Amino acid sequence: MSLSDQAILEQLQALDRMHHLHPFTDPQAVKKAAPFVIEQAKGAYITGQEIRLLDAMAGLGCVNIGYGREEMADVAAEAIRTLSYYHSFSAVSNPYAAALAGKIAALAPGDLNKVFFANSGSEANETLMKLAYLYWRRKGRPNKRILISREYSYHGSTLATTRLNGNRPMIEDFGLDGGADVIKAISPFWYRCGGDLEPEEFGVHAAKEIEKKILAAGADNVAAVIAEPVQGTMGAVVPPQSYWPEVARICKEHDVLLIADEVVTGFGRTGNWFAQETFGFQADMMTLAKGLSSGYAPISASVVSDEIADVIEGQSGVLQHGFTTSGHPLASALALKNIEIIGTEDHVTRVRTDIGPYFAKALKSLEDHPLVGEVRVSGLIAGIELAKDKETREQYPLEANICNHVSQMALVRGLIVRPAGNVVVLCPPFVITHAEIDFMVGVMRDALDETYKAIHQS
Ligand SMILES: Cc1ncc(COP(=O)(O)O)c(C=O)c1O
C-alpha cells in the first residue's frame, strides 16, 4: 500500500482515529492529532509519510538484526508454504519449534534447558509465575505464593504481570493495587536511590533489601524473585556489578526461585547472549521475547532449569496451560533464522567489543551537558538521566515534560529515542554503524541544547 497518495493516507488516518485503540497511548492525543503512519523499515531506519528516521530504539528494543531483511522474508514464505499452522498441544510438535527449543537450550546459561513457547513477553512472565506456583505445589510447599519484584520494573500488561510492575498508574488505573502476594523491593537504581553510598556498596545494599523482604514475608511463603537484569522500560537502570551475584546468593540461601526477565536483555543486547553472563549470575528461570525473533513475529519463551523441569514433569497429569499459537511454525522459523543471523554475523561479540564500547564512549561524552546527570550503558542499551541539579541529583518535576521535549527535539532532527520519566532511553539495532552513532550523539547534544535554552528562556 503506497502512502504517497495523500487521499489514501488521510483515509487511513481517519480509520485509525475512529477504530484503533492504541497501546500505551493517550486516546485524547490521537483525537487531537493524526497518527504518524509508518510505511517501511530497512536496516536501522523507518520511513513514514516521506520522513526517514534513524530508529535508536529498534522499535521497542526488539529489532536486533535490523528491519526488512530478505533472508527473513524468504524463511517466512517457506514456512507458510510448508506448514502455515499447527498447534503444539497433546505432544504434537513441528520441525521449527523443536529445533528452536533445542537452540535456546544450547545457548542458555547453565541448566536452563526446558522451553515453553508463547507470544509475548507478558505471557512468558505470566507462564513462569504459574510454573513457579506449580513447582512449589508439586514439591509439597503450596504456601510459597508470594512474588517479589522491584520498583522501576516492567514485566508486562496482562492482569497478573501488571501487578509486578514498578509503575503505580499502570496498576492503579485498573484497581489492581493491594494484595499481599506481590511485594516490591527497591531497585538497584544508584543515581536515584544510592544516597551517599558508592555504587558497589549500594549494589549489595539493594540486594540485602530483597533479603529483608523475604525474611519479613517468611521464606516459606515466598515463591520467587522476578527481576530484569537491566531495567529497560523504566529508564535503562544498569545495576552495580556487586548486585546480581548477591541477589542470586540470597535467593539460593532462602530457597526462593530467581526469575530473570531477559525479554529486553536476551540475545546479545548487553554484549553476551544473555545478561546473566554480563552480570555474573544464574537464574532458575528466564523469559525471552523481543530479540528472540527481532520483532519479525510475536514469539516468547519461558525457560526453566533441569531441576524445575524434573519436578514439573516428574508427576503425570496434564500441564493445564498453553496458547493456540504456542510454538507457532512461522514464528519459530523466524526466531531460528534470527538467532542464526546473530550468530553468523557475530553480533554478540560486536556488541561486547566494538559497537557497544563505541556507543558507550560516544554517549558518555554527553555527561558534560548541564542537563545530564548521568549516562548509563550496558552493551547497546543506554539511559541518559536528565537532572535539574547535577550536584544534588535533583530531578525536574515530571509535569515539566523535559524528557518529552528532548525526545521531540531529537525526532525533528531525524532520530527516534524513548522518553521514560526523566530518562532518554536508547536501544538501537545491532546493525547500527559508528557513523550512525556519531549522528545520534550529535542530535542528542542539539536536542539537549534546545531544551536547555527553552527552560532558561521561560
Ligand atoms: C523486561 C520486559 N518484560 C516484559 C515485557 C512485556 O513484553 P510484551 O510487550 O511482549 O508483552 C517487556 C516489554 O517491554 C519488557 O521490557
Is residue 113 domain-resident? yes
Report the length, in residues, of the chain. Answer: 458
121 CB under 6 A from ligand 1? Answer: yes
126 CB under 6 A from ligand 1? Answer: no
What is the pLDDT, as a whole number, of residue 179? Answer: 86
Task: Give strand pairing partners of 224.
Answer: 147, 257
Split into its structural domains, the chain has a count of: 2
263 CB under 6 A from ligand 1? Answer: yes
User: Are 338 and 397 within one domain?
Assistant: no
Gap from CA of 122 to ligand 1 centroid (Å): 6
Helices 355-364, 434-457: inter-axial angle, 10-degree rounding = 20
Per-residue pLDDT 10s for the chain (458 aa) are 567 789 999 999 999 999 999 999 999 988 888 899 999 999 999 999 899 999 999 999 999 999 999 999 999 999 999 999 999 999 999 999 999 999 999 999 999 999 999 999 999 999 999 999 999 999 999 999 999 999 999 999 999 999 999 999 999 999 999 889 999 999 999 999 999 999 999 999 999 999 999 999 999 999 999 999 999 999 999 999 999 999 999 999 999 999 999 999 999 999 999 999 999 999 999 999 999 999 999 999 999 999 999 999 999 999 999 999 999 999 999 999 999 999 999 999 999 999 999 999 999 999 999 999 999 999 999 999 999 999 999 999 999 999 999 999 999 999 999 999 999 999 999 999 999 999 999 999 999 999 999 999 86
User: Are 381 and 329 within one domain?
Assistant: no
What is the pLDDT, as a whole number, of residue 178? Answer: 81
**CA-to-CA distance for 247 and 239, rounded, in angstroms?**
11
User: Are 241 and 381 within one domain?
Assistant: no
CATH number at residue 422: 3.90.1150.10
155 CB under 6 A from ligand 1? Answer: yes
For 225, 228, 255, the CA distances from 285, given in Å and listed in that order, are 10, 12, 14
**CA-to-CA distance for 207 and 185, rounded, in angstroms?**
9
Is residue 3 domain-resident? no
- Look up residue 228 and give its three cell numbers: 530484569
What is the pLDDT, as a whole number, of residue 282? Answer: 97
Site of grid cell 504481570: 161
233 CB under 6 A from ligand 1? Answer: yes
Q: Which of 317, 344, 371 is the last residue of a domain?
A: 344
Which residue has a Cα nearest atom 7 of ligand 1? Answer: 121
Query: For ligand 1, what atom is nearest to the CA of residue 123?
Result: 11
CATH number at residue 316: 3.40.640.10
- Look up residue 282 and give its three cell numbers: 544464574
Q: Which of 311, 344, 377 is the last residue of a domain?
A: 344
Task: Please give the residue range of the domain that contains residue 395.
Answer: 38-65+348-457
297 CB under 6 A from ligand 1? Answer: no
Task: Report which residue type is found at 149.
Answer: S
Integer-rounded Cα radius of gyration of the chain = 22
Is residue 139 domain-resident? yes
Query: For ligand 1, what atom is nearest to the CA of residue 125?
Result: 4
User: Are 121 and 88 within one domain?
Assistant: yes
155, 228, 237, 296, best to mutate for ligand 1 pocket (most atoms within 8 Å of CB):
155
Q: Which of 344, 363, 380 is the last residue of a domain?
A: 344
